[in-house]
Homo-oligomer: A and B are copies of this chain.
């Protein structure tokens, strides 16, 4: 104790020349700090930067360009650009038309024959490939995104709405609910963008998505077994168990003609996909295969009159463009919560796919996509869509990849695609009459097979076991329980993991690397050695309410002594434990990796300092960061717990300055 008195009195003077002081960050008012924090949270991409210092007129032009990116590229649009966009647009149209037709299957869970929808807009899928791309080409900032219905959002929307309405018995109500859910999805997406809350979709981590996509692909494929085998009576549930039992309980309904046809086309499509992936130059084979399948199968059915031999076909479809559907939106109380929930879930899922696709291709071509702006564009597109007989649409990853490969230059390729779809809607609809459902099923299966990304899952396993657990839970949840449950579990698990890292922060014992002034983790660096008389610990997380109890009980409380013992045990030295405990004089806490503290954290540091003093041990804080330093100073004004020489800039300086007091007391 005498040594301590000496140190308090003179130590600081004696060593002050060699020692650097810890600085406080420049003072900043609370309002300024809040502003900075708000900006970092909601405007990290600084969208107003380019408005700065511009004349008023220019500001208006910039604002218009921000809202309507079409104004950015349209004025300088040229014929050569159009040629590229034309090719790309036709390419994606050839993919989109068969896909769009079949995504409606997913929405209705393949449980409906188109004929039943005679009084309704017959091909909502195609409608959704017509209006939204046009809206997106005006509002969207991605040049590569191909917009339209996507498999997973169709699947999720269908499975959620089927819980409140039966598409077979009441298709009209079902479509109304689908449009209403689409409206809410759009509203939700646009609000996320306007409120700058886009970071919410970041919580769908890569691992979650890998599992989710694979699970969805399997569910979608299994659903198609119905059409592939020609089964008439099929379960309405989505899980693997009811679907498989439904398949094998209805073996008498299997139609060999349908199955044979389906397997042939599926084999052809998978082969084309394989060739397209192996030889990037031949990618057009995989792109053209679906359209070719539709044409060939339609011709075959027409020529051999297979519809009379148990092969079910789409049937007659009326020509005509989208009709207004705002009068079909249902806002009464009965179905409101169901449509809002469906809108929320499909909104997030489709947003995640759209934004991720947009960012991927933007980074490939080195331009920037503003996430929040994109959300507004996708949201508006869905709101407009819901009023024009479309259901939820977004940027599809697979079609965008085709668009990108086909050499699109601007969003004009979407216009080209929409125009092609329009021509189809106006003129070519009757041609689909003989298209067999089985070939659509084969196209769906071939399309979603690519979503099962086994190598990505392997890499996740190799890198991070907990991430793999997230991936697996997402996969199993989707396959065996439900799409929403699977997603919720995976998101909950990954968020819980983050919270757990804060709640149970790492604490490491630090030693000196001999011959240097470098101090590092003694576990990681075997050559690092502890210094007699000192216990040096580093905390690796913000110190806050969620971990102070843990830190106190587990790590640094010195009463009872057993906790300190835990740290000393790790050092290998000839002296006995008791000797070491007795010779300990300083507990150095390295705060370099503590970005923030809250009031609980300050209380913790304060109490630690006081309680260890009782045991003749002094706590030294090393290198607190700006915010931590500020709070320590403010707390010191209240509690006065920072004595002279409680703060050092580096561990090395602390050890050198304090070593004399160890020898004195020894």
Contacts and interface: CB of A to CB of B under 8 A. Distances in A.
Interface in A580-599: 592-593, 595-596, 598-599
Contacts of A634: 462-463
A85 interface: no
Contact of A626 (B205, B524, B600): B524
A54 B359 CA distance: 61
A242 interface: no
A498 B371 contact: no
Contact of A545 (B25, B494, B542): B494
Contacts of A428: none
A518 interface: yes
A516 interface: yes
Contacts of A280: none
Contacts of A626: 508, 521, 523-524
Contacts of A629: 524
Interface residues of A, number: 92
B503 A199 contact: yes
A598 B205 contact: yes
Interface stretch (A3-11, A218-226, A464-472): A464-472
A75 interface: no
Given A40-B504, A495-B499, A513 B20 contact: yes
A168 interface: no
B503 A25 contact: no
Contacts of A520: 623, 649
B202 A595 contact: no
A506 B592 CA distance: 13
A199 B550 contact: yes
A546 interface: yes
B599 A553 contact: no
Given A366-B560, A524-B25, A626-B523, A506 B549 contact: no
A237 interface: no
Q: How many copies does the complex hold?
A: 2
Given A41-B504, A465-B34, A592 B592 contact: yes
A45 B593 CA distance: 24
B549 A202 contact: yes
Interface centre among A467, A603, A627 (most CB of B within 10 A): A467
A141 to B, nearest CB: 13
Nearest to A594: B593
Contact of A595 (B20, B206, B540, B607): B540
A602 interface: yes
A595 B503 contact: no
B550 A368 contact: no
A425 B34 CA distance: 58
Given A560-B368, A595-B501, A44 B553 contact: yes
Interface in A186-236: 199, 202-203, 205-208
A501 B523 CA distance: 28
Contacts of A513: 20
A26 interface: yes
Interface in A16-30: 20, 23-26, 30
A547 interface: yes
A494 B508 CA distance: 26
Contacts of A206: 545, 599-600, 603
Interface string A489-507: 0000011001111111110
A515 to B, nearest CB: 10
A498 B545 CA distance: 10
Interface string A600-637: 10110001000100000000000101110101001101
Nearest to A559: B366
Nearest to A23: B525
Nearest to A463: B599
Contact of A205 (B460, B466, B600): B600
Contacts of A600: 205-207
Interface string A622-665: 01011101010011011000000000011000000000000000
Closest 9 CB pairs of A and B: A205-B545, A593-B593, A540-B595, A524-B626, A44-B554, A25-B524, A467-B599, A366-B559, A463-B599
26 contacts: A20-B516, A44-B550, A199-B504, A199-B549, A202-B503, A202-B545, A203-B546, A206-B599, A366-B559, A367-B560, A462-B637, A463-B634, A464-B602, A467-B599, A495-B499, A501-B595, A501-B596, A505-B595, A506-B625, A508-B626, A518-B649, A523-B626, A524-B626, A524-B629, A540-B593, A540-B625
